[in-house]
Amino acid sequence: MFKAVKDPHLVPDDGKFRIADAPTGPPSDADPKKGHRKRLKKLRKELDELQRMLYATDKYAVLCIFQAMDAAGKDSTIRAVFTGVNPAGVQVFSFKQPSAEELDHDFLWRTSLRVPERGRIGVFNRSYYEEVLVVRVHPEWLEKQKLPGKLNLKGLWKDRYDSIVEHEAHLARNGVVVLKFWLNVSKDEQRRRFLARIDEPDKNWKFSVGDCEERGFWDDYMAAYQDTLAHTSRPWAPWYAIPADDKPYMRMKVAEILVKNLRQLDIGYPEVDARTRKQLAEIREYLEESG
């Protein structure tokens, strides 16, 4: 089964992850922003080639999951990392409030429908992890889920962690490489970005009162993220806690981690057999003679 590459931002699978130990800014010895942008450009070219080999091999799929607080940069990171990759090879899905139909199914149902097929990279902008993050912060939303029996919230979150881990293990056993990115933005940086959305007219559309209201639950969200990452980071479905206060560094690191994980897959362009090579030679001869 797939095993994630090591990285300073890899969340350990021993259940001991602590948000206090996860930096929101790049390391002190990191390259300047210009260097991050230059490296990202090179990584995108390699990612495009790796996706082509992924498609040609047709044995693996890649699922990238992005979770973060508001204004951390999920949308822009997805755009920056996958720009230049063949659009036919990448599928991006955003998950918002569930519909009535989705609420009539288990919490993994709607995302299971969007798992990428072999040869493609799937991107989830938010995911089933909302069910142990925002729903944990707002347990009153569980009323719409019509769950059977009397609710035991502590037991419910543990059960959902178990379901997620089992679900991702099933995907991994069937060739889906699951890579999960938590974009770790600081509360101060979020405030600055919210102010920018208000002060810059072309960013006003991004701001909503609801985003600011959720900021009031910051500590509750951090507790939910800490427990979630600690309980669900596995070698075959790792979490990476990416510093998000510096956007060029964040985007470069996501691309770098994705590329490094794809490099270790057994993918490439299939070699044709002798019979096929002979047929190709005959076709080439015919085309050259036909004018």
Instruction: Note the pLDDT of residue 237.
Output: 98
Instruction: Identify the CATH homologous superfamily for domain 19-290.
Output: P-loop containing nucleotide triphosphate hydrolases (3.40.50.300)
Average pLDDT for the chain? 94
Instruction: Note the pLDDT of residue 20.
Output: 96
Q: Which tokens belong to 271?
A: 């070699």
Long-range Cβ contact pairs of 264-271 (< 8 A, separation 24 or more): 264/5, 265/2, 265/54, 265/57, 265/60, 265/177, 266/57, 266/59, 267/50, 267/53, 267/54, 267/56, 267/57, 267/59, 267/60, 268/53, 268/56, 268/57, 269/53, 269/56, 270/56, 270/57
Kindly indicate the confidence band of residue 291, based on its pLDDT and cuts at 50, 70 and 90: low
- How many angstroms separate the CA atoms of 235 and 13, rounded? 7
| Domain spans, the chain | 19-290
Strand pairing category for 121-125 and 239-243: unpaired
More confident residue, 287 or 8: 8
pLDDT digits (tens, 9 = 90+) for 200-244: 877 777 777 777 889 999 999 999 999 999 999 999 999 999 999
- How many angstroms separate the CA atoms of 254 and 261, rounded? 11
Q: Which tokens belong to 83?
A: 């720009």
- How many angstroms separate the CA atoms of 130 and 61, rounded? 23
C-alpha of 216 from chain center: 25
How open is the CA angle 219-224-228, to the nearest 5 degrees? 150
Measured CA to CA in angstroms, residue 200 lies from 80, 189, 197, 208, 262 at distances of 21, 16, 6, 14, 38
How open is the CA angle 270-276-278, to the nearest 5 degrees? 135
Instruction: Note the pLDDT of residue 277.
Output: 80
What's 132's DSSP letter?
G
Q: Which tokens belong to 102?
A: 């989705």
Torsion of CA 86, 91, 96, 99, to 10 degrees: 140
What's 280's DSSP letter?
H
Instruction: Note the pLDDT of residue 17.
Output: 97
Q: Which tokens belong to 272?
A: 């044709």
What are the percentages of helix, strand and coil residues in the chain, rounded to 5?
55, 10, 35
pLDDT digits (tens, 9 = 90+) for 27-85: 988 777 789 999 999 999 999 999 999 999 999 999 999 999 999 999 999 999 999 99
Kindly indicate the confidence band of residue 110, based on its pLDDT and cuts at 50, 70 and 90: very high
Q: Which tokens belong to 199?
A: 């002060």
pLDDT digits (tens, 9 = 90+) for 114-137: 999 999 999 999 999 999 999 999
pLDDT digits (tens, 9 = 90+) for 268-290: 998 877 888 888 888 887 888 88
